[in-house]
Structure 1
Amino acid sequence: MLILINYMQMRMLKFIPKMRKKDMNIYDEIGVKKVINTLGNSTVLGGNTTSGEVKEAIESASNNYVDMKELTDTCRKLVADLIGSESALITPGAASALSLATAGAMTGTDRTLIEQIPDTTGMKNEVIIQTQLRVPYDKAIEVAGAKLIEVGSSEKTSVEHITNAINNNTIAIHYLPGGESVASSGKHTNALDIETIIKIAKDNNIYVIVDAAGQVYPTDNLTKYIKMGADAVAYGAKYFGALNGTGILVGKSEIIEAARLHSFIGFEFEKLRSIGRSMKMDKEDVIAVYVALKQWMTMNHEERIEIAEKKALLLKDKISSVSNISISEPDISGTTIGLKITLNENCPFNADQLSEKLASGNPSIWARGDDDTSVIFRMGTVNEEDLDIVADKLKEILN
């Protein structure tokens, strides 16, 4: 009888968590509003909702302890093989990848210099950046103690602007690829292209460090810049289906292996007093990056885009009767497509005010303002069942 009771208790214990896991909504429990995300893979909204395969891998990883050095070294080799890079490092985001790459460029594998960072006295510590390519994210270059040297103007950068700035303290040139969608201080199209930058760098024996955070589709973009000759390229792993606080650094072994020594692995296993201890990662993060990247490299992207296009058409149809707007397909970069709503002159408010009104509801709807009169709704991160809520809210606000 006792054996039977124990057996039934075990069955019940196994059953109850599954029911709670399926039915619970942790955000409702703690009183945090759900967000309908039409911004895209944005850090401020948690970056990404992972696929079933990635969720399963995370859960599997969470069930056991593991040697983090063995795990990270194994997974970074798998990542390098997947995208065809000489070397790779899994990092807690693209920003930390840039910080670690810059640190590695300045110190190499010299243990004394690694422990001296962020004091860069006596090191080559200047990183050149074009004025047109300045964004808040380039602060990551300075974290390790490097100095950003801005060249050119908001209108144009010439080869001479770059070459005249190169001196005995120059270690690298930082580059931000993209189109005019890059929120920089001038027009990106007037900046020197990356091919020119790489040639200048090679001629002067300095590194090229690229922030390609969201440049993950087409998948060729994951090898594009290293094939051109860039030394280190940072990507945000949330853009290919991993977690918000994850990224990868890919490129030449010389700089990647030095960056690894600055990471938390260098701190814990190489006994180095390095800056990367504050950039520690969970085992689940590391696994998620590998599994998500493998899925991203093998998935049918035409089908993914087709699903997003279907959602865009559904939303367009649902709001076709809304007054004071025109609807078009936006010119956006990244991994998804969307819908652009432009407010006409009779609309009593601007795009920012529309975004604020959408976000103030419950659930909150987050959309991206394109300019004073336009708002973009990205379809890759919105659930189809939420489109009715988005449409109804737009009708309520605009009619």
Structure 2
Amino acid sequence: MSDEVLAAMNEAARCSIDMHELHIAAGKRLAQLTQNEAAYVTSGCAAALVLAVLAIRNNGDPSGIISFPGHAERPFEVVMHTAHRIPYDSALALAGATIRQIGNAQQTFEWELEAAITKETAAVLYVPGTHLAQVALPLDVVVAIAHARGIPVVVDAAAQLPPVENLWSFTRDQGADIAVFSGGKALGGPQASGLMVGRTDLIEAARQNGAPYQRWARALKVGKEEIAGLITAVSRFVSLDHRAVHQDWLKTVQSWHAAFEDTPGVIASIEPTNEAGQPVPRLHLGISNPERARKVLDFIDASNPRVMVLPDMRNGQPHGLWLTPEILKAGEPGNVQNVVLSSIDQSK
């Protein structure tokens, strides 16, 4: 986190405040910053998914809120592409929802979404990102089909920053009713924070379900420190010169490439996007021998100070690794380079 974010959290920790008022004021400010109708701070992106589904389920009605998690009058389904199933979608169960899948790993048709929407459907959850199978229907098509049947669309955009435009693109431009983001990834906010943006009525309904009310989602409480930190982080993020940031990342990756390109047994290549398809360049180091690749990863893992890399795992075997510059501070790219080079040398 930046010094500004840490300072905001430190200041908030020294204050006492009405949490209802803070949530409302924070939401208004974040809505302005993200060019959305409304916004709400949560304790993470998974928490935002739970609150989004609860909001859709009870629309903020107190009688519906306090009756949960009792037996529902009818099944409560969220439609998802098979290609969009991720480990995090288990959060939907906390809101009492079950998942109805459409399509398969190779294709999805519009009629499948149309047929899946029934009287039991509460919402459609859409998970963008090129790291998922590219056979899902486009978001605008999903929105059109769902809205024609009175069904809201929620976008899980946890790792879909940058670009900064995604803060408003999914909702304002493409028509999704809610989009949720992690506060602690690209935004640079507190790790235990999330951002929900979208329709005013649904955001307010989500707020009615959460802390400081003594309701089901009180367990997903977010503190005043995280709220202050996230506001500062979002304000900082939207004001960044993202082109300059990208150029700095690219220079780092190019420098790494120059250092590794002649390393025996290693194939270095620059990739323009990260694992989630976002415009964050990274370096791939391919190691054809899985046994050696595993040794390299073990040596890196044992480094002090410790360096974390993303293993390239295929068929249960390591085939190299990726280096990403996104969170590194001044001087750290060189340290990462030295640790990886040393680990490769030790693996011979």
Q: One fold, TM greater than 0.5?
A: yes
Question: Are 2:232 and 1:291 equivalent residues in the alignment?
Answer: yes
Q: What residue in structure 1 maps to residue 218 of structure 2?
A: 277
Deviation at 1:334, TM superposition (A): 3.0
Q: How does 1:1-399 map to 2 (within 5 A)?
A: 50-119=1-70, 121-123=72-74, 125-179=76-130, 181-182=131-132, 187=133, 189-227=134-172, 228-238=174-184, 239-265=186-212, 267=213, 273-330=214-271, 331-332=273-274, 333-334=277-278, 336-344=280-288, 348-350=291-293, 353-372=295-314, 373-399=319-345
- Structure 1 residue 321 displacement after superposition: 4.4
Q: Deviations over 1:280-305 (max 9, x none)?
A: 11211000111111111111112222
TM-score with structure 1 length normalisation? 0.80
Change over 3 Å in CA distance of 1:335–1:69 after alignment to 2: farther
- Aligned partners of 2:262 and 2:305: how far apart in 1? 23
The alpha-carbon deviation at position 98 of structure 1 amounts to 0.7
CA deviation vs aligned residue, 1:245-294 (integer Å, no higher than 9, x gap): 111111111211111111113x1xxxxx4222101112110001111111
Render the CA deviation track for 1:25-74: whole Å, top value 9, x for unaligned: xxxxxxxxxxxxxxxxxxxxxxxxx1111122112212221111111111
Equivalent position amino acid for 1:395 in 2? L
Question: Cα distance 1:142–1:395, how it changes in 2: closer, same or farther (>3 A)?
Answer: same
TM-score for both structures, normalised by structure 2: 0.91
Encode CA deviations 1:121-152: one digit per residue, 9 max, x unaligned: 11561111111110001111221111111222
C-alpha distance after superposition, 1:224-254 (max 9, x if no partner)? 1112111111011112110111111111112
Provide the C-alpha distance between the structure 1 equivalents of 2:307 and 2:71, rounded to a whole number of angstroms: 45
Map Cα deviations across residues 66-87 of structure 1 (whole Å, 9 max, x no partner).
Answer: 1111111111100001111111
Q: Secondary structure at the match of 1:217?
A: coil
Following superposition, the deviation at residue 342 of structure 1 comes to 1.3
Give the superposition deviation at 1:318: 3.5
Judge conservation of contact 2:270–2:284 (CA < 8 Å) in 1.
Answer: yes
Paired residues of 1:355 and 1:368 also in contact (CA < 8 A): no
Q: Does the CA contact (< 8 Å) of 1:133 and 1:191 recur in 2? A: yes
Which digits, 9 at most, give the CA deviation of each residue in 1:327-366, with x for residues without a partner?
A: 1112423363221111245x7523x553333112222211
What amino acid does structure 2 have at the position aligned with 1:237?
G
Task: Assess, with a 3 A threshold, how the Cα gap between structure 1 residues 85 and 388 changes in structure 2: closer, same or farther.
Answer: closer
Do 1:173 and 1:201's aligned partners in 2 also have CA atoms closer than 8 Å?
yes
Asked if structure 1 preserves the Cα contact closer than 8 Å seen for 2:83 and 2:104, the reply is yes
Q: Secondary structure at the match of 1:264?
A: coil
Structure 1: gaps (5+ residues): 1-49, 268-272
How much identity, in percent, do the aligned residues show? 25
C-alpha contact (below 8 Å) 1:311/1:384 kept by paired residues? no
Q: Partners of 2:106 and 2:225 in 1: how far apart? A: 45
Q: Relative to 1, partners in 2 of residues 1:322 and 1:68: Cα closer, same or farther, differing over 3 Å? A: same
Q: Distance in 2 between matches of 1:195 and 1:397?
A: 47
Aligned length: 336
CA offsets per residue over residues 357-380 of structure 1, 9 Å max, x none? 311222221111234423111101
Q: Contact 1:85 / 1:250 at 8 angstroms: preserved in 2?
A: yes
Larger radius of gyration: 1
**Which one-letter code corresponds to 2:73 in the other structure?**
G
* Contact 2:178–2:198 (CA under 8 A) maintained in structure 1: yes
Q: Distance in 1 between matches of 2:338 and 2:231?
A: 39
Change (3 A) 1:218 1:89: same
Distance 2:105 2:82 in 1: 6
Change (3 A) 1:120 1:259: farther
> What is the one-letter code of the residue matched to 1:366?
M
**Alpha-carbon contact 1:103-1:262 (below 8 Å) kept:** yes
- CA RMSD after TM alignment: 1.9
TM-superposed CA distance for 1:101, in Å, is 0.4
